[in-house]
Amino acid sequence: MQHNVLILDFGSQYTQLIARRVRELNIFCEIFPYNNPPTDLSSYKAVILSGSPFSVRAEDAPHPDLTQIRGKLPLLAVCYGAQYLAHFDGGEVAPSNIREYGRANLSYIKEGEPFLEGVSANSQVWMSHSDTIKKLPTNGVVLASTKDVANAAYKIEGETTYAIQYHPEVYHSTDGKQMLENFLVKIAEVPQSFTPNSFVEDIVAELKAKIQDDKVVLGLSGGVDSTVAAVLLNKAIGKNLYCIFVNNGLLRKDEFESVLHQYKDMGLNVKGVDAADRFLSQLAGISDPETKRKTIGRVFIEVFDDEAHQLEDVKWLAQGTIYPDVIESVSVKGPSATIKSHHNVGGLPDFMKLQVVEPLRMLFKDEVRRVGATLGIDPELLGRHPFPGPGLSIRILGDITPEKVRILQEVDAVFINGLREHGLYDKVWQAGAILLPVNSVGVMGDERTYEKVVALRAVESTDGMTADWVHLPYEFLMKISNEIINKVKGVNRVVYDISSKPPATIEWE
């Protein structure tokens, strides 16, 4: 795997967006916590320091060791990083007298500066900080200013070190991608060689060398990630890949049968295991979201282990883990806190005794889809909305019962089929229904009802790290609401979720 750009995370909500923008330039990058960087930096060609919710003036502020980076590798310090370089190297950082958050415009741009080449006068940038740099560090030179921020961007003479107090990674910074390209391609001379084709070639070769003639078992979920992982492994090791597709009783309506048939048509060596009753019995009476996730993860491993033991000489377990799963599941002081646990990250219990292989571990969701297209996977399968590993259990708020699962499967089917029929499915990144733990009064015919409420959720996003709710047509929502209430016994009210991420998450649990 290529190791071109290192991003040190100081806990900013935007850190993963930095990585996304770098990847969009066909440049491979990795995120590491600031206090646990790689020990060997020889393969990296540039380093980026992220922002942070901390103040550099605070006693518990993140304090990275940059001795192997400063003056040795091209360095771009963003927001907190820029203030850190100033505060600890002859400059001054002080509380800002004005609120420096939101849109601002560059009122001064230093002429002839490669970092700002192609950046127009009055270019909009996104600020997000409460401190500001009053005095530049030793050998600092101003590159750009805004009306209120004199030292919006600077460089350090004698080093290939650049620093900015705004966030180039967010879409609100109109020339942000250009600045990143200027730094990485023109200044640091990082090759733009990370493409879907190159990834497939590299990972297939890596899998062949790592696995050789060993047998691998993989749990398929029906989603894009595990499917692409399976096709990559199948390309590398063929029939030595044994796929298991488990019905946990929490899939969408009729999904177990239809997806199993689709996998077999793709030439995968796959076995379907219907364990719905086992999962639902273990979930009975559990309402806490994290407990539900962990219970499903535990039972899945138990079922998987039962099946794996029927195979002889299996050495590896393959997983469809992707990069956001890895990052969100690493919680250290400073960098981004864990939002929720991911049941496919964190290794295996001792009794399984298998080595783990994760072909997609370094890819974001949209990159997984592009790799899948390169592999020739059916576009309809690649275009499927993300679906949570714990399935409908985290879309049923409260405890899980077979009746609640039936209701939600029926509601979900009406909603998703409706999106397809009205040409809206591909305009939505993820959609689903949530069964709420409340009943509401209704009237059907001449009878009073007291039945369940469901919420519909549809969001648009690039990689799930941020998301906006989709403005579905009122006529469509009216039709779907009527259809759900008329067709699904037990539901008498439908609401639509208009929350964005952040502050809300895409799933309700």
Q: Which tokens is 248 given?
A: 């946990």
| 124-138, 193-207, 344-358, 444-458: range with highest mean pLDDT | 193-207
pLDDT of residue 5: 96
Handedness of CA 223, 224, 228, 234 (dihedral sign): positive
What is the share, in percent, of the chain residues with pLDDT greater than 70? 93
Q: How far apart are CA 90 and CA 92, in angstroms?
A: 7
pLDDT of residue 345: 44
Which helix H or strand E contains 480, and what residues bound it? helix 474-487
Going by C-alpha positions, the residue among 72, 141, 82 that lies closest to residue 112 is 141
Residue type, 366: D
Q: How far apart are CA 500 and CA 391, in angstroms?
A: 21
What would the pLDDT profile of 8-21 be if each residue is shown by its tens digit?
Answer: 999 888 888 899 99
- In this structure, what are the phi and psi dihedrals at residue 109, rounded to the nearest 5 degrees? -135, 125
pLDDT of residue 394: 93
What would the pLDDT profile of 355-411 be if each residue is shown by its tens digit?
Answer: 889 999 989 888 999 999 999 998 888 888 988 889 999 999 999 999 999 999 999
What would the pLDDT profile of 399-447 be if each residue is shown by its tens digit?
Answer: 999 999 999 999 999 999 999 999 999 999 999 999 999 989 887 766 7
Instruction: Check the annotation: does 272 bind a ligand.
Output: no
pLDDT band at 170 (very low <50, low <70, confident <90, very high): confident
Contact 465, 323 (CB under 8 A): no
**3-state per-residue secondary structure call for 344-394:** CCCCCCHHHCCEEECCCCCCCHHHHHHHHHHCCCCHHHHCCCCCCCCHHHH
What is the share, in percent, of the chain residues with pLDDT greater than 90? 62
Any idea which residues carry the catalytic annotation?
79, 167, 169
pLDDT of residue 331: 41
Domain 402-496 architecture: 2-Layer Sandwich (3.30)
Higher local confidence (pLDDT), 102 or 500: 500
Instruction: Check the annotation: does 500 bind a ligand.
Output: no
What would the pLDDT profile of 302-336 be if each residue is shown by its tens digit?
Answer: 888 888 888 888 899 898 888 887 776 554 433 33
Other residues' Cβ atoms within 10 Å of the Cβ of residue 155: 23
User: Could you tell me where the beta strands, DSSP code E, fall in 40-139?
Assistant: 46-49, 75-78, 92-109, 124-135
Which helix H or strand E contains 293, and what residues bound it? helix 289-308
DSSP for 44-60 reads -SEEEE---SS-TTSTT
Q: How far apart are CA 307 and CA 150, in angstroms?
A: 64
**Per-domain residue ranges of the chain:** 5-187, 196-383, 402-496
Q: Are strands 447-460 and 75-78 parallel, antiparallel or unpaired?
A: unpaired
For 5-187, CATH gives: 3.40.50.880
What would the pLDDT profile of 455-492 be if each residue is shown by its tens digit?
Answer: 999 999 876 777 899 999 999 999 999 999 999 999 99
Instruction: Check the annotation: does 462 bind a ligand.
Output: no
Q: Where are the alpha helices (DSSP H) in 137-242?
A: 176-181, 196-211, 224-237
pLDDT of residue 466: 79
Which helix H or strand E contains 266, and what residues bound it? none
pLDDT mean over 260-270: 90
Residue type, 2: Q
Q: How far apart are CA 443 and CA 432, in angstroms?
A: 26
pLDDT at residue 346 tops 70: no
Two domains, one topology: 196-383 and 402-496:
no
pLDDT of residue 250: 94
What would the pLDDT profile of 79-133 be if each residue is shown by its tens digit?
Answer: 999 999 999 999 998 887 665 667 889 999 999 999 999 998 899 998 876 788 9
pLDDT of residue 306: 86
Instruction: Check the annotation: does 383 bind a ligand.
Output: no
pLDDT mean over 279-293: 94
Task: Please give the class, per CATH, of domain 196-383.
Answer: alpha beta
| 102-106, 138-142, 169-173: range with highest mean pLDDT | 138-142
What would the pLDDT profile of 221-235 be if each residue is shown by its tens digit?
Answer: 888 999 999 999 999
pLDDT at residue 339 tops 50: no
Instruction: Check the annotation: does 366 bind a ligand.
Output: no
Q: Is-cis flag, bond preceding 503, omega within 30?
A: yes
Instruction: Check the annotation: does 9 bind a ligand.
Output: no
Q: How far is CA 452 from CA 135, 436, 437, in A?
A: 60, 7, 8
pLDDT band at 502 (very low <50, low <70, confident <90, very high): confident
Instruction: Check the annotation: does 221 bind a ligand.
Output: yes
Which one-letter DSSP state was computed for residue 467? B
